[in-house]
Chain A
């Protein structure tokens, strides 16, 4: 951005667009705040306002045996699946991002395959994989077919994120490392990866949250053990108590925790770099 006098008068469009931005943020967070609030509804309260006292009754309800029996187990499975998806997505998309820095035979085909995989209606991916498993006589499962279905979504996402990361990567660092006698492995380990680390953390977080919240690709291929989003989906039609909101609050809190931890890590990395460059 060009250096402008900070006291320069703001045009009216600034105020118009700033109001739009404010309203949009209100629109984005308003309804979510309503359900967080309602999840602390008192034991006699319902799914709408007014609040009848406040309690953690509906959160305790989740752990009580009964209708919600599957929630804690599904939560654990979702976390494990998300961690695996995240790890695989990082390994595969970082490598692929490096590969795409050169033209290679088939690069165009692979690129458009990734685009197609990203824009394919999600349920159809699960449907296709499910049909395939059936034709081959395999049993669909969370860590086979569901994992594969989620990768068709997180890998293109990771690849495109890596493109953005490599766009801002200065190759001179790698050349300098080679000139100084670094082997290919040393160059990767001590130069390329550390520079790319904030971007890679972003990909890991993105893949984790995408998998953790995935519904449409997973639903037809999860086998007989559900993930958390599948359990939540099943509850929507049956549960008419604030428990649903309590689960929503909890799962969103987990997402926020993952996002917050990643951001904190990235900020710390960049601070350390800024300090070292000084």
Chain B
């Protein structure tokens, strides 16, 4: 970062006599600084999570919910075959999308960091990848409908170049469409963290590997990938949790062929069956937390972010 212009007001002559002030210990200052963040996260994230933990044991009927300590909500949830089916379906999407976004994200980040020589070009390309992320996910999802539809732009283009006689039917409202939309929405979540890790690798290391006779692939496998492990783990966590928590894309793009964990849960919420919905939420939260904790074991995310 370049040196900023000297701002006025710094170079004032030191006051002859320091005013007596309340001296706060540095730790107290830190606590005051993070206070608002802590209060909001506790009040609106931790507390609500506790509330649905409590409500998941409640009894309910068509009229309301009643404090109780029942395990029925969990038993019903865990003994329904639909639960396993929807988890397997979401996991399948999560793994496919994880694989594709990892491939795309790593290669694009590698290209941006090591191949693009001009800083300006790199910034512009990175922004081009990032800008859609700052626009509406709903709009980006429905944007695929006129593109992939039976009479959509893609089918018309295929038929115009005579690659296919009849429009392809599997493109829209299918698991394929769901995966395409996820990749479209979430690849940036991979590119960002991986590019961040790659940018910290000293290019001299790559030259050293090459000079020592390592092939391109050996350099990749033994130098670049181990050093970008944190970025890969962070990106994976983000993509994985987004897919597991999604309820819009599957609902909109699968044409009713698949459900997602959250869309099943949303149906219960709309029917005001809060206790079973809370139990389902708790199971999902635990599941996601376990997966994230597993991925966090690979890297110390905190050490990576705060220094």
Query: A-side interface residues toward B, CB under 8 Å?
Result: 1-2, 4, 6, 10-11, 13-14, 17-18, 20-21, 24-25, 27-32, 34-35, 38, 47-49, 91-93, 95-96, 98-102, 104-108, 110-111, 113-117, 119-125, 127-129, 131-132, 135, 148-149, 151-152, 155-156, 159-160, 163-164, 167-170, 173, 177, 180-182, 186, 189-191, 194-195, 205-206, 209-210, 212-213, 215-216, 220, 229, 232-233, 236, 244-245, 248, 251-252, 255-256, 258-259, 263, 270, 272-274, 276-277
> Within residues 196 to 255 of chain B, which ones have a CB less than 8 A from any CB in chain A?
196, 203-204, 207, 216, 237-238, 241, 244-245, 247-248, 252
Closest to B191 in A: A24
Nearest CB in chain A: distance from B223 CB, A: 15
- The residue that A117 contacts in the complex, of B41, B125, B274, with Cβ under 8 A, is B41
Return the 4 tightest CB-CB contacts between A and B, nearest first: A128-B48, A121-B245, A99-B33, A181-B14
Closest to B266 in A: A123
Query: Cβ of A119 and Cβ of B292 under 8 Å apart?
Result: yes
Residues of A close to B216: CB separation below 8 A: 11, 13
Please tell me if B63 contacts chain A, counting CB pairs below 8 Å: no
Query: Cβ of A99 and Cβ of B302 under 8 Å apart?
Result: no
Which of A125, A131, A164 has the largest number of chain B CB atoms within 10 A? A131
CA distance A34 to B152 in the complex (A): 10
Closest to B50 in A: A128
Query: Cβ of B125 and Cβ of A100 under 8 Å apart?
Result: no
Query: Cβ of A113 and Cβ of B142 under 8 Å apart?
Result: no
> Within residues 133 to 179 of chain B, which ones have a CB less than 8 A from any CB in chain A?
134-140, 142-149, 151-153, 156
What would 29 A/B residue contacts be, using CB atoms closer than 8 Å?
Answer: A11-B216, A17-B110, A21-B108, A93-B37, A95-B34, A96-B37, A104-B27, A110-B34, A113-B45, A120-B285, A120-B288, A123-B266, A124-B262, A124-B284, A127-B52, A131-B51, A131-B52, A148-B43, A156-B41, A164-B305, A180-B14, A181-B12, A194-B4, A205-B134, A213-B134, A232-B139, A259-B131, A276-B4, A277-B5
Nearest CB in chain A: distance from B299 CB, A: 12
Query: Cβ of B8 and Cβ of A190 under 8 Å apart?
Result: yes
Closest to A33 in B: B143
Nearest CB in chain B: distance from A157 CB, A: 11
Query: Cβ of B134 and Cβ of A206 under 8 Å apart?
Result: yes
Given contacts A121-B245, A123-B262, contact A113 B42 (CB under 8 A): yes
Nearest CB in chain A: distance from B115 CB, A: 5
Query: B-side interface residues toward A, CB under 8 Å?
Result: 1-5, 7-15, 26-27, 29-34, 36-38, 40-49, 51-52, 55, 104, 107-108, 110-112, 115, 117, 125, 127-129, 131-132, 134-140, 142-149, 151-153, 156, 184, 187, 196, 203-204, 207, 216, 237-238, 241, 244-245, 247-248, 252, 261-262, 265-266, 269, 274, 277-278, 281, 284-285, 288-289, 292, 301-302, 305-307
Query: Cβ of A216 and Cβ of B5 under 8 Å apart?
Result: no
Query: Cβ of B129 and Cβ of A108 under 8 Å apart?
Result: no
Residues of A close to B207: CB separation below 8 A: 2
Nearest CB in chain B: distance from A83 CB, A: 16
- The residue that A152 contacts in the complex, of B7, B45, B196, B204, with Cβ under 8 A, is B45
Which label, helix, strand, loop or mixed, suits the secondary structure of the A interface? helix
Query: Cβ of B1 and Cβ of A170 under 8 Å apart?
Result: yes
Query: Cβ of B203 and Cβ of A2 under 8 Å apart?
Result: yes
Beyond A102-B29, A114-B37: 12 further Cβ-contacts under 8 Å? A24-B108, A38-B146, A48-B146, A96-B34, A104-B30, A119-B237, A119-B238, A123-B266, A164-B305, A191-B10, A216-B247, A252-B139
Residues of A close to B187: CB separation below 8 A: 24, 28
Query: Cβ of A30 and Cβ of B147 under 8 Å apart?
Result: yes
Residues of B close to A255: CB separation below 8 A: 134-136
Given contacts A96-B36, A124-B281, contact A186 B9 (CB under 8 A): yes
Closest to B192 in A: A164
Query: Cβ of B34 and Cβ of A115 under 8 Å apart?
Result: no
CA distance A122 to B243 in the complex (A): 11
Residues of A close to B306: CB separation below 8 A: 100, 111, 163
CA distance A141 to B43 in the complex (A): 16
Nearest CB in chain A: distance from B122 CB, A: 10
- The residue that B40 contacts in the complex, of A152, A216, A272, with Cβ under 8 A, is A152
Query: Cβ of A259 and Cβ of B248 under 8 Å apart?
Result: no
Query: Cβ of A229 and Cβ of B138 under 8 Å apart?
Result: yes
Query: Cβ of A29 and Cβ of B139 under 8 Å apart?
Result: no
